[in-house]
Chain A
Amino acid sequence: MPFENLMGDEAIALGALHAGLSAAFAYPGTPSTEIMEYYLDHAEGGGSGPVVAQWCSNEKTAYEAALGASFAGRRSSVSMKHVGLNVAADPFVNSALLKIKGGLLVVVADDPGMHSSQDEQDSRVFADFARIPCLEPADQQEAYDMAREAFELSERIMAPVLLRVTTRLAHSRAAVETRAPRAQNPVAKVEDRWGWTLMPQAARERWKRALVGYEAVRSEIEAAARVEPGDCDLGVVTTGLGLEYYRENEAELGRRPWRLHVGRYPMPYAALRELASKVSRVLVIEEGYPFVERELRGVLPSAVAIEGKETGQIPLDGELSPDNVRPALGLPPRPGLSRAAGAPELPRRPPQLCPGCPHADSYAFLKEALAGYPSRVVTGDIGCYTLGALPPFEAIETCVDMGASIGMARGAAEAGLVPAVAVIGDSTFYHSGLPNLVDAVSHNSNLTVLILDNSTTGMTGAQPTILPSERLKAVALAVGVGPEHVHLLSAHKGDHGRNVEIMRRELAYEGPSVLISERGCLEAIKKARKA
């Protein structure tokens, strides 16, 4: 069969295409972005006809679109980063109760180590919370295979299936063996509306079925799980990439531990008990939260010692690596080269805005306009412009979650801290800043919203903003910001004086105002030129 050299994200996308995917929806977010980019680059499909592939305003709208496509009987997928699942939590958790028709694949890419994120939450916990089965590939081949498997499982058990990967798998490449594509489902809508109308009476019935279904999936996973025999009293449980880090060190182990790899959830209690019956100690190597480890404490007899993150053998935060699992396996650190003793410490090189970035000009006029206000707050948001927290700008004071800048500036202003400025990008504004602006208009809150409009989602590699820039002003006007308090600014050095003046005027105005600072992202321009 043919091989392709694929990133984990791409392997998932190709697996989904080969499984007969009809529609895919997403909002960009590292490390999940490349899944949708692969669909967009292969919109002719994977051999089973063209697919719909669309960026959406946010993860919630993307999830809901995927639900609709599933309702229409077609295989659909939604992909996002881990924190995106928080935004989509409402449809995600409720979708566990639906009688899924067309297979629904929910792909979530977690970012332990926070390479490009605000937290390192573990989506396996979320899947279990919703009672949605979860598949966790260990390598690129499994990423491809499990994407296909997820659709089969989803249609068979009539529930969504979550596929969880972490950064190193999402963003590493290896050869993947592919299989013949399957035809897409025809449009054939759900006939039983009570499987999809979660009014209390129907929802109670659906929840009972979901709970039973979840345990039925556990039984299937238990039946397929295999404990590999060892020759000592240590048992090693691995999940996801933990398997690869274990294998990297396996050859150096003197004795062979008993082994169980968990790649599917709900986790196989029976197999875990079988493993524990052979050993006195069980070590869990999993990336993310101590999810298996913690649950094991309630599953295994108390005579068996359970080791892992909560007991300190493996770090509780950050990523796993081939090196940080070694102490837990009783192996010494590997010797490497090192710098001479006393060599001066190397300065770190934090990420920074590109030379000539329009955000730099926006921060310049923002800072000048604010000078002279001893008390003030500038809330920030999520995007390249979050780098405005660092020198030389040091212009923003917060970065919490998508869209929070406007809500937080509003709350601070209502609490008496003024002037309050919210700095937000155009894509983040549409993602979830907009409802906060509606609140600000409703309560006539005293804040100034500075939208850095570079016409793109820059941080994740310049995906198009959901609506073109020209509409932004109309959107602010449409929700009711006073026309004299909506301004288009040009983020150029030459317009600095004018921008400062307008900003000062709006800082003094005691109501909501919106300044749209426009200039295209240089990366996006470069990318467009290359294409």
Chain B
Amino acid sequence: MKYDIVLCGVGGQGGISVSVLIARAAMDAGLAAKQSEVHGMAQRGGEVLAHLRLADGPIASPTIPRGSASLLLAFEPLEALRYLGWLSPSARIVSASSPVRNIPSYPEIEGVLAELRSVPGSLALDAEALAREAGNPKAANMVLLGAAAAYLPFPPELLARAIELGFARKGEAVVAANLRAFEHGRAANS
């Protein structure tokens, strides 16, 4: 079994921390994980891309070969369209629908979303609104993780536990708020 995940977004959206949580849960499930991150200049408000590879055996390349990812987790819809080439024909896409318009030439959002929704297996959701509803407007990334949970090759409870451990240092209130956002995401894709 192998399960490759492309995570993408704009610098500062918390994509890398989601990758870390999924890897932790996968390792709790007995899977091997290899994660590739981007640091330095690229993090400053630019395109951010992380690769996460899960398998029940050894993993070679730290980056995902084209055409082989099972899931694209996008924190920004325009960014999602950049990485279709890495997806296998049966891949799932879970993307935030709200744009980050920090470039002058950002296209019409309706067109971006229409193109995204035309890809079979894709889901674009208003993660920010769901995060607000869950009482934690900063947790859009947890909403998206929740929405993607059903596709991952291990039980969602392991993700909840990874969230608990990952945020434990920041106190119970932060853990609870992130778990609520995660559950809102799960409910939005059930």
Contacts and interface: CB of A to CB of B under 8 A. Distances in A.
A349 B60 contact: no
A5 B41 contact: no
Please classify how large the interface on chain B is, using the bins under 10, 10 to 19, 20 to 34, 35 or more.
35 or more
A453 to B, nearest CB: 19
B66 A354 contact: no
Contact of A31 (B39, B63, B104, B105): B39
Contacts of B78: 346-347, 349
Given A339-B84, A347-B105, A351-B44, A248 B23 contact: no
B63 A321 contact: yes
A459 B42 CA distance: 10
Which of B36, B102, B104 has the most chain A CB atoms inside 10 A of its CB?
B36
Interface in A358-376: none
Interface in B112-137: 115, 118-119
Interface string B151-180: 000000000000000000000000000000
B38 interface: yes
Interface residues of A, number: 51
Contacts of B34: 172-174
Contact of B64 (A322, A353, A386): A322
- The dominant DSSP class at the A interface is loop
Interface in B100-114: 102-107, 111
Nearest to A247: B60
A468 interface: no
B85 A337 contact: yes
B61 interface: yes
Given A116-B40, A168-B36, A344-B107, A322 B61 contact: yes
Interface in A51-106: none
B39 A171 contact: yes
B103 A30 contact: no
Contacts of B23: 5, 173
B59 interface: yes
Nearest to B76: A349
A201 interface: no
B58 to A, nearest CB: 8
Interface stretch (B87-95, B142-150, B181-189): B87-95
A340 interface: yes
B82 to A, nearest CB: 6
A352 B89 contact: no
A245 B66 contact: no
A133 B25 CA distance: 40
Interface stretch (A205-213, A328-336, A487-495, A499-507): A328-336
B39 A172 contact: no
A277 B34 CA distance: 36
B98 to A, nearest CB: 15
Contacts of B63: 168, 172, 321-322
A391 B78 CA distance: 21
Contacts of A353: 44-45
A26 to B, nearest CB: 15
B42 A334 contact: no
A175 B59 CA distance: 11
Interface of B: 10-12, 20, 23-24, 27, 32-47, 51, 59-68, 78-79, 81-82, 84-89, 91, 102-107, 111, 115, 118-119
15 contacts: A116-B42, A171-B38, A172-B35, A173-B35, A174-B35, A247-B60, A322-B66, A333-B66, A334-B66, A335-B89, A337-B91, A349-B79, A351-B41, A387-B44, A391-B104
Given A244-B61, A247-B60, A337-B87, 20 more contacts: A5-B23, A30-B39, A115-B41, A168-B36, A169-B62, A172-B34, A172-B62, A174-B62, A241-B62, A248-B61, A322-B65, A337-B67, A338-B84, A343-B81, A346-B82, A346-B107, A347-B78, A349-B78, A349-B103, A352-B102
